[in-house]
Chain A
Amino acid sequence: QSALTQPPSASGSPGQSVTISCTGISSDVGDYNYVSWYQQHPGKAPKLMIYEVSKRPSGVPDRFSGSRSGNTASLTVAGLLAEDEADYYCISFGGMNNWGVFGGGTKLTVL
């Protein structure tokens, strides 16, 4: 399994918007709608933020949104708050022999 590619870091000032990318190949991100995103604060378990590319679970602020273009999925955080500072991970389905492949993670810093 090849990991999905995420930038190691991203940053923005409070109130700004930041977009984190997650690049796969045509047989995973580009071929299926099953991309999800997780937020992880230090020492805590990951939390589901986006699933099926762009759906938000109940309780997740609408400042978080997901999209996809070709083989790249993206997570956008609008109106940055200090509490958004965390690590973010994407994961995609790539067929039953490649069921769950995570990205390497992106550390989001709120300046």
Chain B
Amino acid sequence: QVQLQESGPGLVKPSETLSLICSVSSGSITNYYWSWIRQPPGKGLEWIGYIHYTGTTNYNPSLRSRVTISVDTSKNQFSLKVSSVTAADTAVYYCARILEGYGPTFDYWGQGTLVTVSS
């Protein structure tokens, strides 16, 4: 079955850009939509945005000005960039596959990676 794995720096300085990659294995990134979701420590889930393998994107309006999601089909990966980060961006970041045709339905998830924003 499909497996997802997040990777990237665990510590980012305030005002800098957070960058993460989600690697997809045991399945192709094509023909699906893929998403990023985050969870601040001890708090609830927040949808960040999604990307289709063709490059179509949609972002949470509250993060749209700072977020970019891109896809590299040749590497079976998609990525997340969040600019001008603050302590409020400290969270576990998950990547997930979207079950197409059912709106915000995430059928496969990565294990998550903690990103801390601190100087």
Interface residues of chain A, those whose CB is within 8 Å of chain B, are 1, 3, 32, 34, 36, 38, 45-48, 51-52, 57, 89, 91-93, 96-105
Whether the pair B105, A1 counts as a contact (CB closer than 8 A) is no
Interface residues of B in 102-119 (CB under 8 A from A): 102-107, 109-112
Interface of B is mostly: loop
Q: A99-B47, A101-B47 are in contact. Are A93 and B103 (CB under 8 A)?
A: yes
Partner of A102, one of B45, B105, B112: B45
Size bracket of the B interface:
20 to 34
Q: Binary interface profile of B, 22-65, with partner A (CB < 8 Å = 1, else 0)?
A: 00000000000001000000001111001000000010111000
Whether the pair A97, B102 counts as a contact (CB closer than 8 A) is no
Whether the pair B45, A93 counts as a contact (CB closer than 8 A) is no
7 contacts between A and B (CB under 8 A): A3-B44, A51-B107, A52-B102, A98-B61, A99-B47, A101-B47, A105-B44
